[in-house]
Structure 1
Amino acid sequence: MSYKNFPMVPRVIFGRGSFNQLDEILAAKRLSVNAPFIFLVDDVFKNNNELTSRIPLSYEDRIVFISTKEEPKTYQVDELVEDIILKTKAQPSGIIGIGGGSILDLAKAVSIMLTNEGEAKDYQGWDLVKNPAIYHVGIPTISGTGAEVSRTTVLTGPDKKLGINSDYTPFDQVLLDSELTKDVPKAQWFYTGMDCFIHCVESLKGSYLNAFSQSYGEKSFDLCKEIFLEKTYDASDVDSQEKLMMASWHGGMSIAYSQVGVAHAMSYGLSYLLGTKHGIGNCIVFDHLEEFYSEGVAMFKEMKAKHNIELPQGICAHLSDDEFNIMIDVALGLEPLWENAIGKNWKKTITREKLRGLYQKM
């Protein structure tokens, strides 16, 4: 039997205020004065001098602010790569992503596409990347997605929503500074935290589960229970911020060695057709998945009630047959997720009618 040799993030700094060490980390990786670092930063920080003034710019380095109103697109990656190539004299020393899951995924994708020919859509799938990415650093400013540790970069392409899953995708360096998460609005904190919780449920209930993924998944699951069931939301709670950052890391590690399941497969369909953001999309879907994850869904509903979160209703109420079919096609295309959730014979029970019935509840 052959076992998959998965890459892990080789270097990580964890600690409140550790963002201040970014300068010394990058100085050792600068290739030349003509090879800049490109900082891809969530544009929510555009007028936030508290963060942007601390980004260590030298020589030709520059900040590119990126809107996260929509999920990352393959054409967006291609445009960023073209812009970088046109505006730099030499290949960049590295790409640094500062933001939530969308920004981290874009940073990973851009670093790959700077060394691989073609368009980002050509690499949506598993192990299609031929050349190592350039040096890339992930700095999350919200916790839950696991993008800081995963070997995928989730992108919406012209005909599917699917990640660039490869051994070259993970960051070379991650900087986990929980202080950067202190201004996250409550609803966003909940939706992204639930992305992490759902990672754990899907990993721990899946057929791909092994002792490695289980050990990470259980730790993350326990941290999520503590944060979302035992505590109330408090923007100044440092302990909760640090623990959610660790839950996100462990949740991402858990699915690296197993896989996600039904909620993620179906939320990709919502995202592809309706542009629903990943965290809230997972929540909308998971709310209706008692049949697959009865205990997890019951706990999710308890968390939702505790924090007074109301999910959008009826988002699929006015869709046409064609639109339902588009979502169903996207969801069914994610075969490893279904196999993990249901088993090798998943196609016998996961029919188009079954998925349409579930979507119609949302």
Structure 2
Amino acid sequence: MPNDYARPLRLWQPRRFEFGAGSAAEVGHWAREQGFARIHVLTTPVIAGQIDRMGLPGSVTVFADVDPEPDSATLDRAIAAAQEADPDLVIGFGGGSVMDVAKLVTVLRGGFPLADAIGPNKVPARLNALALVPTTAGTGSEAGIRALVTNLATGAKAAVESPHLMPDMVSLDPDLTMSVPPAVTAATGIDAMAHCVEAFTNRKSHPLIDNYARLGFTLVARFLPRAVADGSDAEARAALLLAAYYGGICLGPVNTAAGHALAYPLGTRLKLPHGHANAIIFPHVLAFNAPAAPEKTAEIAAALGLGGGNRLAQDAWDWCARLGPEMRLSALGATEAMLPDWAAEAHAIRRLMDNNPRDMTVAEAETIYRSAF
């Protein structure tokens, strides 16, 4: 992989970025400054009670029915609620699923169909302002121009990509993440790390993005075990929000690779949370890619305290397992008969597989699933 500083790169960033304890209140201050009168918040029942932390002005409506792994039916309900509310500001207040649905609502509520939006640069202009407030430290969706939902027509993840999905305002408030349970903290943190690692070892890797990736996986390595052990660790919570944001920056110009391609069927078919699916796959793809990216893999291993060579996959598996997630597909409802179809499905996700530093056949994808079984 060439280390070419002159290679063109395009980054999209939020127009306003707030970070730190209590910064959720800045959303309300900003909304008041901008004169927004009709604000529509997308969230989940678990965290809907924290919306008041933003101090929103004007008329506020809430759609609190976003599923953990949202599909096109969830999106349709969210769009219908937004059409009724007719907001001048939409806020995604939640994890990656909530933020992705909020993004899509802002560009599709005028009647543009999801099927026509899939892919890069197909959606029309946004119909309202957009603010994103993550309440978990994982997807980094607040830093990216993509949004994903499961398309019920195909059973696969549908990815929409457009600069119109970049929010006007982002607030990263670690206070909102203090109550996230250990299992969710672990899964979302490993997802953030996977974003950074997959961008770092990517065929499209870039020196500028490599710096964000290093920052991200180093923060996860240092602070995720602390946050899982003690959810009230304010320093760890803040560090992980930054790590997730750095991972989100990596997704824009570089994106993920085989790890996420292999994780997607676990979400759509087994209904595993996205972060948990990535945790299961992460050790195996890290080891698979090591021969194609030896120096960068050594950096990742050093940050996580992993052994190299034949120890890499087992040590990475142990690192993830110590954080709590069940790492065996056989204990999560999978059967061996399912694995060939998943391998074919993952292999067909070329927008990610083509980024992988090492070519992966369908048979090799199935071998990874069997190793994770």
CA contact (8 A) 1:316 1:360 kept: no
- Residue in structure 2 matching 1:44, options 26, 43, 46: 46
Match of 1:29 in 2: 34
Cα displacement (A) at 1:272: 2.1
Cα deviation digits, residues 271-314 of structure 1 (max 9, x gap) = 22222211001111223332224655556334335435432431
Cα distance between partner residues in 2 of 1:282 and 1:140: 19
SS of match in other structure, 1:44? coil
Alignment of 1:1-362 (within 5 A): 3=8, 5-31=10-36, 33=37, 36-46=38-48, 48=49, 51-56=50-55, 58-68=57-67, 70-85=68-83, 87-88=84-85, 91-115=86-110, 117-157=111-151, 158-159=153-154, 160-228=156-224, 233-289=229-285, 290-293=287-290, 297=313, 300-314=316-330, 315=332, 317-318=334-335, 320=337, 324-325=340-341, 327-342=342-357, 346=359, 350-361=360-371, 362=373
1:118 corresponds to which letter in structure 2? Answer: F
Cα displacement (A) at 1:83: 2.7
Cα deviation digits, residues 159-216 of structure 1 (max 9, x gap) = 1213211111111110111000000100110000000111111111111111111011
Task: Give the fraction of aligned pairs with identical amino acids, expressed as a percent.
Answer: 23
TM-score by length of 2: 0.84
1:81 corresponds to which letter in structure 2? Answer: I
SS of match in other structure, 2:132? strand
Cα distance between partner residues in 2 of 1:113 and 1:29: 23
1:224 corresponds to which letter in structure 2? Answer: V
Cα distance between partner residues in 2 of 1:275 and 1:2: 39
Cα distance between partner residues in 2 of 1:210 and 1:261: 14
2:319 corresponds to which letter in structure 1? Answer: M
CA contact (8 A) 2:226 2:233 kept: no
After superposition, the Cα gap between the structure-2 partners of 1:109 and 1:67, relative to the gap in structure 1 and judged at 3 Å, is: closer
After superposition, the Cα gap between the structure-2 partners of 1:271 and 1:307, relative to the gap in structure 1 and judged at 3 Å, is: closer
1:125 corresponds to which letter in structure 2? Answer: G
Cα deviation digits, residues 34-71 of structure 1 (max 9, x gap) = xx21011221124x4xx244354555421111243x41
SS of match in other structure, 1:130? coil
Unaligned 5+ runs, structure 2: 1-5, 291-296, 302-312
After superposition, the Cα gap between the structure-2 partners of 1:317 and 1:83, relative to the gap in structure 1 and judged at 3 Å, is: closer
Cα displacement (A) at 1:339: 2.0
TM-score by length of 1: 0.86
Size of the aligned set, in residue pairs, is 344
After superposition, the Cα gap between the structure-2 partners of 1:299 and 1:232, relative to the gap in structure 1 and judged at 3 Å, is: farther
1:303 corresponds to which letter in structure 2? Answer: W
**Stretches (4+) displaced over 6 A:** none
Cα distance between partner residues in 1 of 2:351 and 2:52: 43
Please provide the CA RMSD for this pair: 2.5
SS of match in other structure, 2:149? strand
257-266 or 306-315: bigger deviation? 306-315
Unaligned 5+ runs, structure 1: none
1:17 corresponds to which letter in structure 2? Answer: G
Which has more helix, going by share of residues? 2
Cα distance between partner residues in 1 of 2:329 and 2:320: 14
SS of match in other structure, 1:168? helix
Cα displacement (A) at 1:76: 1.7
SS of match in other structure, 2:213? helix
SS of match in other structure, 2:170? strand
After superposition, the Cα gap between the structure-2 partners of 1:312 and 1:301, relative to the gap in structure 1 and judged at 3 Å, is: closer
Cα distance between partner residues in 1 of 2:370 and 2:25: 48
